[in-house]
Chain A
């Protein structure tokens, strides 16, 4: 059994975001990156299947040099192999372009299961996993909070409105887009990190995937033309001063509200 896990490296959740001079994205220089939070849960879910029996876990990511660090982390956590699609020709792909790249990798790898995060912490599109499933002719589900495997099918609880769970059964191979909180994500152990150095990390280009000219900025059907901080509404009144002054103001307000 082979499980493919799609990982995206995104700006760290605590990074201070500054808009790039052209206004179309953030400045990516000098900020920290991390594995997309949703994807860490997807990886953990795959690693648990591996721990429970026989499964090879292959992690796949697209992006520049920095992405190899995310893949090494995943290998350190227990993934067996990594594939890094590294090619300037893939940069600027829209979500469908990304799905096409991952579909091409999946066709070469023929996984029994594909896990991915429900959405990314940067673009927030939640688009790639269902697109990938469609391109591969596989069933899929999103917002998975529980996955149970039985012979040839997967029973998945997906989180829907009001905290309810919708239960679906998927024939395998299939794509499961994982919601956060589905499991407790492990850290890479020192031993795991040492072992990761010897694990295979293959680099592929668009041409290796027969995608030259079919993905990247030139093929993107949708693009971000502008990003900006949301317009300021009735913003909070900010209390300033020393800790004692701030605390005194808060106590007064709580008294005013009749709660003290």
Chain B
């Protein structure tokens, strides 16, 4: 029986939580199919991390230590993964769907001529056949996928499963990866931290956010902002609004904007793509107003209104101002 290869990811000198989540997925697939669990820890000076991972779910760990593997280089990482796949005879390669995984996983799949499935929230097995579960259409539908026999490279959504919390009797062996700097086409330069936002939504008790359904930039000043003002709150927006240039990035709520947790979050014309939900779903109370009753936003909202926001929001603003006297 072939095995599973977990590709651990190192961030700021540590193995990131998502890698232990892969260990958890690997353990359940291994117990359902009889596969063995092996891992790759690749980087510069990572001996101790490889030892640690071997004991905490990684099992048999290949330790690939090379200057270029510690340099955030996609092609070098891909070469290490390919070497580990060859060494381990794995037919399932697990990689986290992180910015590093976005770059390296499809490259490895193409190099191996393997099946590729990204951003799985669950992988299970039925009668030996693996089933990969993921979202499609920006979260509107769930899909189940199967692969033909042969290697599969799968990325797993961070946070989708609990991290492996047990211990494993692992061991570490060195893996040599032939790398030459002049063969690499990409070079990591630096990481620039996010700049100051200018709009701090973290202190607002009430946030009224608008999405693509608001339709035009002036509608934010005419419709969304007055409701936020009436409640002494702040205005926010979803990514498509910022992408379209209707509002600056400082207003963006979501995984690539601000993560907020107000007492009340009112989502107007926001369908609820996963990247927005991540930024607001822990709000104390959520009201969603959207024309589409199937919009994923209603899955996280406490109270929903299926209607045209232009009918509800101005009337609500007026009623709140009247109630305040």
Interface of A toward B, CB cutoff 8 Å? 11, 13, 16-17, 19, 26, 37, 41, 94-96, 99, 118, 121-135, 138-143, 155, 157-171, 174, 180-181, 184, 220-233, 235-240, 243-244, 246-251, 253-255, 257-260
A226–B78 CA distance with the chains assembled, in angstroms: 31
Within 8 A of A (CB), among B267-314: 284-288, 292-294, 296, 298-307, 311-312
Please name all residues of chain B whose beta carbon is closer than 8 Å to the beta carbon of A129 when the two chains form the complex: 106
Residue of B nearest to A173 (CB): B185
B32 to chain A, nearest CB (A): 18
**Quick one: given A130-B103, A229-B142, are A222 and B185 in contact (CB under 8 Å)?**
no
Q: Does B205 contact A (CB under 8 A)?
A: yes
A17 and B102 contacting across the interface, CB-CB below 8 Å:
no
Please name all residues of chain A whose beta carbon is closer than 8 Å to the beta carbon of B239 when the two chains form the complex: 180-181
Total A-B pairs, Cβ < 8 A: 264
Secondary structure of the A contact surface, majority rule = mixed
* Number of B residues with CB within 8 Å of any CB on chain A: 95
A229–B306 CA distance with the chains assembled, in angstroms: 18
B183 to chain A, nearest CB (A): 10
A14 to chain B, nearest CB (A): 8
Please name all residues of chain A whose beta carbon is closer than 8 Å to the beta carbon of B191 when the two chains form the complex: 160, 164-167
A135 and B99 contacting across the interface, CB-CB below 8 Å:
no
Residue of B141, B257, B287, B292 with highest tally of chain A CB at under 10 A: B141
B142 and A230 contacting across the interface, CB-CB below 8 Å:
yes
**Quick one: given A96-B116, A127-B106, A134-B110, are A168 and B188 in contact (CB under 8 Å)?**
yes
Beyond contacts A166-B190, A236-B288, A251-B319: 11 other A-B pairs, Cβ-Cβ < 8 A, are A125-B119, A140-B103, A161-B99, A163-B256, A164-B194, A170-B185, A222-B117, A223-B146, A225-B131, A229-B140, A253-B285
A96–B299 CA distance with the chains assembled, in angstroms: 33
B271 to chain A, nearest CB (A): 8
A162 and B136 contacting across the interface, CB-CB below 8 Å:
no
Residue of B102, B131, B302, B323 with highest tally of chain A CB at under 10 A: B102
Residue of A163, A168, A239 with highest tally of chain B CB at under 10 A: A163
B231 and A160 contacting across the interface, CB-CB below 8 Å:
no
B324 and A260 contacting across the interface, CB-CB below 8 Å:
yes
Stretch from B51-59, B147-155, B162-170 that touches the partner: B147-155
B106 and A130 contacting across the interface, CB-CB below 8 Å:
yes
B135 and A237 contacting across the interface, CB-CB below 8 Å:
no
Please name all residues of chain B whose beta carbon is closer than 8 Å to the beta carbon of A16 when the two chains form the complex: 292, 294
Please name all residues of chain A whose beta carbon is closer than 8 Å to the beta carbon of B263 when the two chains form the complex: 257-259
B85 to chain A, nearest CB (A): 14
Please name all residues of chain A whose beta carbon is closer than 8 Å to the beta carbon of B193 when the two chains form the complex: 164
Q: Does B243 contact A (CB under 8 A)?
A: yes
**Quick one: given A168-B188, A181-B239, A226-B143, are A125 and B74 in contact (CB under 8 Å)?**
no
Residue of A nearest to B149 (CB): A221
Please name all residues of chain B whose beta carbon is closer than 8 Å to the beta carbon of A258 when the two chains form the complex: 263
A185 to chain B, nearest CB (A): 8
